Every structure is written in C-alpha cells, then in structure tokens.
Amino acid sequence: MFIKALTGKFAASSYTLYIPLLVAGLILPVVIKDDFIIRVLILTYFFIMFSASWNLLAYSGQGSLGHAAFLGIGAFVSTIIVKFGIAPVIGIFTGAAAAATAGLFLGILCVRLREWFLGLVTFGFAIIMAALVNESSVFINVMNSLLSSLGSTGALDPNMLGGSFGIYSPHIVSSDMYYYLFLFAMTGTIMATHLIFRSKMGFAFAAIRENEVEASMMGVDVTRYKLMAFMISTFMAGFAGALFAPYNYFINPEIFSIHYSFMPVIMTISGGIGTIGGPLVGGLVINLLWEQMGMMGMSIDRLLILGAILILEIMFLPKGLMPWIKKLWRRVAGTTFQDMPL
C-alpha cells in the first residue's frame, strides 16, 4: 500500500520513481561488501548507459550497428587527453565531444539514407576504427610523433593504460567511489533520455521513426532532428566510454569489436526498444546473465546463447520485457499512468 500511496496520491510526476531507484543504488554498496559484485554492478551501470544512448538513436528510427565506434572514440580520446597531462574531467567531456563529432559526421553521411545503409555504414565504421587504432597503425605513429614533439613522455600504444582519476594509478580511487560515479552517471543518462523523450524533440524523433514523409509534412525538420538524435546519442556513448577507460585502467582496440556494438542492441531489445526503462531492465538482466555465465566458465557458449536470445526475442518477444513489467506494476501499484519511467 506504501507503493500505491507513493505512486498514486503523492506522485508529483513519473519522475518520482527515480527516488527509490537512486536510494536502492546508494544503499547497495553499504549492504554488499563483495568487490566482485561491486565490479559486476559497475559494469552493469556502464552497459545501461551505453544501451540508453543506443536506445535514443533507435527511438528516432536509426539503428546503429557500430555503436562501439563511439564508445571507443570517447575512451581513446579521453585517455590521450589525460596523457597530455590535462585534467581528467576535461578529458572525459572532450572524449564525449569527439564521439559526438564523429557521430555528426556519420549522421550527415547517412541522413539521406535508409535503415540498412545506416546499419552498414556504422557497422563498417566500428571495424575500420579498430583497424585504424590497431598495432602497427599509421594513426598511432602520427599521434606518437605529435606527443613527442610537444615534449610529452607518454608514448601511445594501442594497448593503453587509461589514466585514472587520481594520477596514473588505479589505487587512488576506491571501487566504491567508481560505483557511485557510475550510478549517478547512469541515472543521469536515463533521466536525460526521459526528458528528451517527453520533450518536443522526442515527439519529433518518434514522428520521424513512424513515418519520415508524414513527419516532414507536419513541419518537422527531419534532417535536423535526425542529426540531433545522432549527436546526443553518440555524445552519451562517448561519455560512457570515457568513464569506462579509467575504471577499466586498460583499453585496446577490443573496445571497437562487434561484441561492444552488439551488447546495447541485445540489452535494449530485451528490455524494450524505444522505452525509457528498456535499457535499464535489459542491461540488468543481460549483463547479470552474462556475468553469471562467465562465472560458470562459459566463454564461447555465452556468445552462442546471447545470439540465440536475440533471435528468439525478435521472433517471439519483439517488445521486450517492459510490457510485462508495466502490467505487473499496474497490479502492485494500481496506477495506470502511461509514461512510467520504469
């Protein structure tokens, strides 16, 4: 009945539901002292952020198959900036901005094109980024000569140690602090997508997704909104990558791999594509499943299982878990409001 009161009578808006979510997130590390579980949770939050950014792009009808490219650009650019000796906070936002710039560039290329073209170009872009950053690559050599000409010692390598938030040591910042950082960043990302979905921009995205021609007839500037969706989404992805690099303390071209492009797709679809809570639910379920399978010693099998889950979901559960959760919530809380954030 407490939930009923909270959501029915006292609920000023659907944003109220962020409070229990945040409280639960804040209490968790106090209750759980296990470092491994904290690490799994941090990774889960990271993937939720990444999925939310992918979901925003899919909400405007553009399905990216190479979102890892923007994740990787954010991670690499922020690490390079930190290697130059600039404050990590600036590094993170520069990384995210660099990802958004790359996103704008790809968006301009693809804005006239249809779904499969966008998929093709983004899919290829991620793989080509990996090849560019790879060992023996020209890009790394150019960056290194640039660094040494500026008098910096930190020679770049495709397998870079990310700078942590202290100095170049992972021990300065405890994993609990990283946990809170990722918790707030994740909640912020979800809230940002929520605000965007409920704004004029969000309605424009939905209109474009449903029918581009009709949207432009109603006065929606299709090109502008599509590019905006691209930039916001890639900024979020780059931000997630820039946070991930110092936490992981190690980045290499693996971050551009198909695996990282694939995870937000399967997570968002499992949760519910185009819903605000979809990435949250899907990220939790899929990442915990993934880590559980990893603990059980599966390495190749878990890839196989994820692929099978994706195909079965598209065939039999295309809306993901969200409709079930909404139904369950309605029964527990007795409210019927439509734009529930969870």
Nearer of residues 173 and 258 to another protein, judged by Cβ? 258
Helices (H), the chain: 2-4, 18-31, 35-59, 68-83, 88-110, 115-133, 138-149, 175-197, 200-210, 212-217, 222-248, 258-271, 278-295, 300-316, 322-333
User: Which parts of 126-165 interact with another protein (CB under 8 A)?
Assistant: 127-128, 131-132, 134, 136-138
Q: How far is the CB of 279 from another protein (least distance, A)?
A: 15
Q: How far is the CB of 307 from another protein (least distance, A)?
A: 3
Give the tokens for residue 129. Answer: 């980024």
Q: How far is the CB of 87 from another protein (least distance, A)?
A: 32
Angle at 245 between CA 243 and CA 247, to 5 degrees: 75
Distance of CA 287 to the CA centre of its chain: 13
Nearer of residues 73 and 82 to another protein, judged by Cβ? 73
Give the tokens for residue 47. Answer: 């993937």
Determine if 289 is a binding residue for another protein (CB under 8 A).
Answer: no
Determine if 104 is a binding residue for another protein (CB under 8 A).
Answer: no
Determine if 285 is a binding residue for another protein (CB under 8 A).
Answer: no
Nearer of residues 87 and 314 to another protein, judged by Cβ? 314
Nearer of residues 172 and 311 to another protein, judged by Cβ? 311
Buried b (16+ CB within 10 A) or exposed e, 40-71: bbbbbbbbbbbbbbbbbbbbbbbbbbbbbbbb
What pairs with residue 160 in β-bridges?
251
Nearer of residues 87 and 142 to another protein, judged by Cβ? 142
Residue 80: name the closest of 69, 97, 94 by CA.
Answer: 94
Give the tokens for residue 79. Answer: 């690490």
Neighbours of 91 (CB within 10 A): 25
Angle at 46 between CA 131 and CA 31, to 5 degrees: 150
Give the tokens for residue 124. Answer: 């290829």
Among the listed residues 306, 321, 322, 325, the single contact to another protein using CB under 8 A: 306
Among the listed residues 120, 191, 285, 288, the single contact to another protein using CB under 8 A: 120
Among the listed residues 119, 180, 192, 216, the single contact to another protein using CB under 8 A: 119
User: Which parts of 200-259 interact with another protein (CB under 8 A)?
Assistant: 258
3-state SS class at 281: helix
User: Which parts of 1-40 interact with another protein (CB under 8 A)?
Assistant: none
Stretch that binds another protein, among 69-77, 200-208, 260-268, 284-292 (CB under 8 A): 260-268
What pairs with residue 251 in β-bridges?
160
Among the listed residues 42, 48, 58, 73, the single contact to another protein using CB under 8 A: 58
Which of the 8 DSSP states describes residue 321? S
Nearer of residues 113 and 328 to another protein, judged by Cβ? 113
- For the chain, the helix, strand and coil percentages under 3-state DSSP, each to the nearest 5: 75, 0, 25
Nearer of residues 88 and 158 to another protein, judged by Cβ? 158
Among the listed residues 3, 89, 217, 311, the single contact to another protein using CB under 8 A: 311
Residues forming the site for another protein (CB under 8 A): 58, 63, 65, 109-110, 112-117, 119-121, 123-125, 127-128, 131-132, 134, 136-138, 258, 262, 265-266, 269, 300-301, 303-304, 306-308, 310-311, 314-315, 318
